[in-house]
Amino acid sequence: MEHSDAERRRSRGRAALRAAPWLPGALALLLAGCASHPAVDAPQDTPRDAPAAPAASTTADAVAAASAATAAEQPGVVPQVRTTRVFDDDGLRFDNLLPAARLSGIERLGEGRYRVDIAPETEPVNPSAWYGFRIHADAPRALELRFAYAHGHRHRYVPKLSVDGRTWREARADEFQLDADGTARLRLQLAAGELRVFAQPPLLPEDFEAWSASVATGLGVEPATFGRSVQGRPLRMFEFGAGADAPVLLVLGRQHPPENTGTQALMGFVEALAADTPQARSFRDRVRVLVVPLLNPDGVVEGHWRGNARGVDINRDWGPFAQPETRALRDLLQQRGIGAGRVAFAIDFHSTFRDVFYTVAEDPSRAPDGVLHAWMAAMQAGFDIEEKPSAARTPVFKNWAFCRLGAPAVTYEVGDTTPAAELESVARHAARSLMELLPAAAPPSAAPACPRFDAG
């Protein structure tokens, strides 16, 4: 009985997650390897800029104007000009006015044929080639888009399409081609009206807030603001479980804007910790959980590839603490008295080209009697998960959590194209395995010496 109750609840949880209209369905495999930068064609005509944005709310306009102003003030960031481009000959408009949009330019190559120019917020930058824009067609017509990336970057994400911004589908193989030379081409039969084309369905701060509130409410707690981003957006967290002196599980997400699958895994993981099951209830009696699902809201809203509003990779700031987002979380933990000896485990969710867990080579809990070893063994018993340990040499969150807090720590990377159902079952297995193990023993009472982790 107990088991079937738990199964039913988990099924409901999964159904709710899948029903969330802003989450993508299963994604087909994108082969990321491609040879060279697409050739850039000369434009055949010059569009006029539209005086006003069609179908953009005043709120969106205000956010866009405010964020463009802020980005423009940041040295090193190329501000994205938020605008609408009108092509009367084809009855088409293109805009990047929506939150999370990224479109640097668009040129008409011929009838119904366009080159879409995409540039990152700064350079050099990781190859997370995010893009997002809206097309409006006056009448049904055929359209061909060629993607062209600045600085020789390559196309990464198969386009996701939505008419209403709520339900999304991936471009079909007959619509999207990635040629051997790296040229990415999207051919669409447009209906009259609007179509959104994004690298991934955008997950905006309000989506994180709605999810956090629903999980927190079920546990009788409320999300709280612990700081502000560069652009002044609230940084939000929620915590639940055992009392303020209990061992802590830290859960962090979305330091990098495009990483949707990492967010989906974080959600499945936290929902399993928050579930109304005997295992999870018992776990919450022993351990306190602190969840920060979105540490980089500005980067998400700006459509950045990697950085915050200043174009800084905040997962290289866990040492310098030069950014308000990382400082705010460090200070929150200090205020809570969550230092060395308090953190039983720390986990930071990301996305990359494949499923891989990065660990700290020096971490003693990787030894056969340690909690990280046991957890990895439990993961690898159920799934094909690679562990990649490396020396703590860079100021990433995982290394800071290990070097300064003494915590077993992992960067949990989910493949860009891992199907939603699969990443969700891995994430829930990860949570259930960890709940069995924590706290395995008292967390380390002193942080280990990591002399160089924050030097760079």
* CB contact set of 302 (below 8 Å; sequence gap of 6+): 67, 71, 80, 100, 102, 121, 257, 309
Q: Omega before 439 cis (within 30°)?
A: yes
Alpha helices for 125-193 (secondary structure H): none
| Chain centroid, CA 187 distance in Å | 27
Q: Token pair of 263, please?
A: 């967010």
Distance, CA of 56 to CA of 249 (rounded, Å): 41
Of residues 107 and 259, the one with the C-beta less far from Zn ion:
259
Residue 352 CB, nearest distance to Zn ion (Å)? 7
Please give the DSSP secondary-structure letter assigned to residue 375. Answer: H
Q: How far is the CB of 259 from Zn ion (least distance, A)?
A: 5
Instruction: Give per-residue burial for 135-173: e unless 16+ CB within 10 Å, then b.
Output: bbbeeebebebbbbbbeebbbbbbbbbbeeeeebebbee
Longest dimension (CA), the chain: 70
Q: Could you write out the three-class secondary structure of 10-35?
A: HHHHHHHHHHCCCCCCCCCCCCCCCC
Residues facing 188 on adjacent strands: 143
41 versus 387: smaller Cβ distance to Zn ion: 387
Whole-number Å distance between alpha carbons of 270 and 434: 11
CB-based contact 434:345 (threshold 8 Å): yes
Binding site for Zn ion (CB under 5 A): 256, 350
Q: How far is the CB of 383 from Zn ion (least distance, A)?
A: 20
Q: Residue 380 CA to chain centroid, in angstroms?
A: 24
Give 146's strand partners. Answer: 115, 185
Token representation of residue 146? 């060629």
Query: Residue 409 Cβ, how far from Zn ion at the closest point, in Å?
Result: 15
| Closest to 95 in 3D by CA, of 115, 113, 81 | 81
Q: How far is the CB of 397 from Zn ion (least distance, A)?
A: 10
Q: Which two tokens stand for residue 253?
A: 């997400």
In whole angstroms, the minimum distance from the beta carbon of 169 to Zn ion comes to 25
Nearer to Zn ion, 256 or 342 (CB): 256
Q: Minimal CA–CA distance to 64: which of 92, 86, 84?
A: 84
Beta bridge partners of 136: 93, 194
3-state secondary structure 270-294: HHHHCCCCHHHHHHHHHCEEEEECC
CB of 130 to Zn ion, least distance (A): 12
Q: Which is nearer to Zn ion, 116 or 329 (CB)?
A: 329
With respect to Zn ion, which residue has the nearer C-beta, 131 or 358? 358
Query: In the complex with Zn ion, which residue's Cβ is closer, 108 or 256?
Result: 256
Residue recorded with tokens 């495999």:
29
> What is the smallest separation between the CB atom of 260 and Zn ion, expressed in angstroms?
11
Cβ at position 256, least distance to Zn ion in Å: 3
Least separation in angstroms between residue 416's CB and Zn ion is: 11
CB of 99 to Zn ion, least distance (A): 20
- Closer to Zn ion at the Cβ: 293 or 443? 293
Which amino acid, one-letter code, is at 164? D
Angle at 245 between CA 243 and CA 247, to 5 degrees: 90
Helix/strand/coil for 128? coil
Nearer to Zn ion by Cβ, of 258 and 439: the residue is 258
